[in-house]
Structure 1
């Protein structure tokens, strides 16, 4: 009998806040409990950034070069299977609490269909139980108004104005109380819906917005982290054309309300406050995650429920001066992945390189569902049982598109790229990270054994050049091996 599934995705949570330098600064008992009772993958990297492409890869099990949902708002073609379509095919109804950041395939909609005006639709196959979309959280807005909050009417920026602080300073509290936050409200609705289903089997995908910016938190979470305990960000990295392009125009305007987008002008005290607020938001999510784990215990469902938790992508959080996830460096890509459930080993850490494309095949196998041959990911089930696969690729691939339809981006302008060449692929193995840029932009290479923060570019050194050639060959092999395989396993020859 298949277990229940609680599949939890946080937005923009970097891995070292769960197991690394930022862990332990704020209490995270629920995450620590999952680590102790399950398997932790300490080298999991997202297959794409930002949010939309990351979730497209997570839910289809495909690299971005196959699903082609390469930007926020770029559609994913209807023929691609998702985790939800395959669970549904096997007779399980996947429930969605939150958002998927998926854009509709225009080939199946009339031109004026409202679905073509948003990129926050559920992935194909999910039944949306709680509509909690980041840029249009209508149900939460209704809740806040019902609780007496004096919200602007109409809200000029429907989602952003909900995250304005009350008072001065970057640690000022949000306008809503902790019991009415987006995180608390979504958890309340999820527990209500699942409690109604607790006597049968259920399958739920819960997606929290936090700790995604804007970086503002309600009391007491806004003041929870002590800035004196938070390590400073990694220092500025290599003087590379990518860095010049990144800082060539304001960016990350949504970091906090009123921010002008000039990340290079943030003072050290501001950086410390923002990092502290980020960790406070993580502690808030952890608190509500603990409510879900306690509910599983109190209702006798913990032993028959598979819990999978990860983040869609990471966050630079001031490292090398960068903020956000639109980046080619590790903090934007490195995510925590925790799995607990029936038959899963306890307290085990896996250091092998894995990818978010591996999550959908893993869940399908654990739920007793066939994995479509087109999925690029590989099941992690042997790791969960305390062994290792006989053959493992030992690589992770992350892709990023640096263009945007309609107007040239700062990367296109500064690097002289076209919409078709403004992109990069990042390949990581057990020791090195290669950043391969399209359009003739020089590569970057990092030896993570000596430089885990990816601050020192070795690509132009003689030894580095040999590593660049080795990893470029591995990248080409991966692309050739995994090019769209939806039908390649078939043959109509007699």
Structure 2
């Protein structure tokens, strides 16, 4: 390779798109990400194709819809021979460096039951070279760092408990016991910068993954109280949780599935009310600002080392966060806040497109083919996504998609979920598909639940209009579109190969979704 082409893929866990483009944007200070947006192309209608963390990251890194890779829950194994961005970058001569985690559950068919690879859902995806293990439930190097710095804690879970005055109970917004300079976000960035500086003469590909602002919602000073809860907008929601639950049978269990109580450790007697909701939202934004600071350090390094003009920089998230919207939390939902995520791409030598926005629908599965096309590597037929290179060059294809598609599996193999218990569904039918176009959102279930149709020119996510007579033509059209989309995107790993008397032949895939 004669022309240096580096790739930096940054993933910020659980970051809502509207922190950068929307309702929360004016309430959070993100100078480095906003500066990057002015020097890059921002995608305003970018959606993850699935949730939660494991499935979302697998789709992003394989370029496949969940209906094809079928690693549909945290802990669901990914087939060991699934092609992904790391395996394909290796074919181009790159060492795929992982700083953080991919949340991949390994294939038990090729591992002994005692192998550590099948003792955690957070194992690195096949093909990646783990430069630094930084996982939500492990993070042994960070633990060692904290101990070396003199911090004392009994058990890893205590890392996420706050410190507070002895004369009162802990409160949301109380600080972490470690300094900001020793946080997981700071430690990850430090180790990345210490390592990547040695690769200045090489073509490199690095996947840098930040845990924050993923729960637990606890931050070091000053980020713990950087934002005043009283000045933040309230969540987008119905007047009461009961009214929100009445929208559809799926909604009531969704309110119970994820609440701030379980991940906010160290807060006995936590109550869900306006005060705690706003305090939790304030800490979330503080954690986002902390990540922004360290992304700024990474961008400064690229510029100072002369690699800014040889590196494709991608900043995105795996999925969103409800943050109390619709009286729900987390990302296991049907609402846009759980799926609408930021995407910023800076392409070297593309100054004429600096600061531009793309409003056409794009999906998380588009990143893998985009990277591969830029470095000149063939895109496998297994990839469902489409390269964003034409959009980055402002040459919009006539057949570009006019909708996005997402899936969510709400079952669990070990213990039935709140949905399974409330709705009486089994594992195979506890799944839903979402189709979004410019006006509507269609949600269809595999089980016997009513269809959901939101009209965003009317009441949007506050009214299900699927049963209203005037919407029946649109409902039928969208259902046909959903069916056709699934049919067109069935797994093409080998479907376009054929064995002949002269040997195997292959047809390249037309990725018009």
Distance of aligned partners of 1:250 and 1:37 in 2 relative to their CA distance in 1, 3 Å threshold: closer
Partner of 1:164: 161
Partner of 2:511: none
Q: What CA distance in whole angstroms lies between the structure 1 residues aligned with 2:224 and 2:161?
A: 13
Which ranges in structure 1 are unaligned for 5 or more consecutive residues? none
Partner of 1:142: 144
Q: What CA distance in whole angstroms lies between the structure 2 residues aligned with 1:259 and 1:411?
A: 26
Partner of 1:480: 487
SS of the equivalent of 2:316 reads strand
Partner of 1:412: 420
Q: What CA distance in whole angstroms lies between the structure 1 residues aligned with 2:256 and 2:133?
A: 37
Range that drifts further, 206-215 or 362-371: 362-371
Deviation at 1:72, TM superposition (A): 0.1
* Contact kept in structure 2, 1:227 and 1:276, CA below 8 Å: yes
Is residue 2:243 matched to residue 1:246? no
Q: What CA distance in whole angstroms lies between the structure 2 residues aligned with 1:182 and 1:398?
A: 30
Q: Please report the RMSD computed on the Cα atoms of aligned residues, expressed in angstroms.
A: 1.6
Which ranges in structure 2 are unaligned for 5 or more consecutive residues? 165-169, 239-243, 502-513
* Contact kept in structure 2, 1:2 and 1:366, CA below 8 Å: no
Counterpart of 2:219 (choices 207, 217, 220) is: 217
Distance of aligned partners of 1:291 and 1:101 in 2 relative to their CA distance in 1, 3 Å threshold: same
Is residue 2:35 matched to residue 1:33? yes
Q: What CA distance in whole angstroms lies between the structure 2 residues aligned with 1:367 and 1:18?
A: 28
Q: What CA distance in whole angstroms lies between the structure 1 residues aligned with 2:349 and 2:389?
A: 10
Q: What CA distance in whole angstroms lies between the structure 1 residues aligned with 2:118 and 2:324?
A: 34
Is residue 2:463 matched to residue 1:456? yes
SS of the equivalent of 1:211 reads coil
Task: Report matched runs for 1:59-458 at 5 Å.
Answer: 59-152=61-154, 155=155, 158=156, 160-167=157-164, 168-236=170-238, 237=244, 239-247=247-255, 253-258=261-266, 265-344=271-350, 345-451=353-459, 454-458=461-465
Distance of aligned partners of 1:251 and 1:17 in 2 relative to their CA distance in 1, 3 Å threshold: closer
Q: What CA distance in whole angstroms lies between the structure 2 residues aligned with 1:252 and 1:105?
A: 32
Range that drifts further, 344-353 or 128-137: 344-353
Partner of 2:472: 465
Deviation at 1:410, TM superposition (A): 1.1
What do residues 343-398 of structure 1 show as CA deviations (whole Å, max 9, x unaligned)?
Answer: 43211111111110111111111122111011000011111012212311222111
Q: What CA distance in whole angstroms lies between the structure 1 residues aligned with 2:410 and 2:378?
A: 35
Distance of aligned partners of 1:250 and 1:73 in 2 relative to their CA distance in 1, 3 Å threshold: closer
Deviation at 1:2, TM superposition (A): 4.8
Aligned residues, how many? 486
Deviation at 1:200, TM superposition (A): 2.5
* Contact kept in structure 2, 1:352 and 1:430, CA below 8 Å: no
Q: What CA distance in whole angstroms lies between the structure 2 residues aligned with 1:67 and 1:250?
A: 25
Q: What CA distance in whole angstroms lies between the structure 1 residues aligned with 2:29 and 2:257?
A: 37
Q: What CA distance in whole angstroms lies between the structure 2 residues aligned with 1:250 and 1:309?
A: 26
Q: What CA distance in whole angstroms lies between the structure 2 residues aligned with 1:81 and 1:435?
A: 29
* Contact kept in structure 2, 1:12 and 1:211, CA below 8 Å: yes
Deviation at 1:492, TM superposition (A): 2.2
Partner of 2:54: 52
Scaled by the length of structure 1, the TM-score of the pair is 0.95
Deviation at 1:420, TM superposition (A): 0.9
Deviation at 1:459, TM superposition (A): 1.2
Distance of aligned partners of 1:143 and 1:330 in 2 relative to their CA distance in 1, 3 Å threshold: same
Scaled by the length of structure 2, the TM-score of the pair is 0.92
* Contact kept in structure 2, 1:343 and 1:385, CA below 8 Å: no
Deviation at 1:24, TM superposition (A): 2.8
SS of the equivalent of 1:56 reads helix
Range that drifts further, 385-394 or 283-292: 385-394
Partner of 2:505: none
Range that drifts further, 240-249 or 337-346: 240-249
Task: Report matched runs for 1:483-494 at 5 Å.
Answer: 483-493=490-500
Deviation at 1:489, TM superposition (A): 1.4
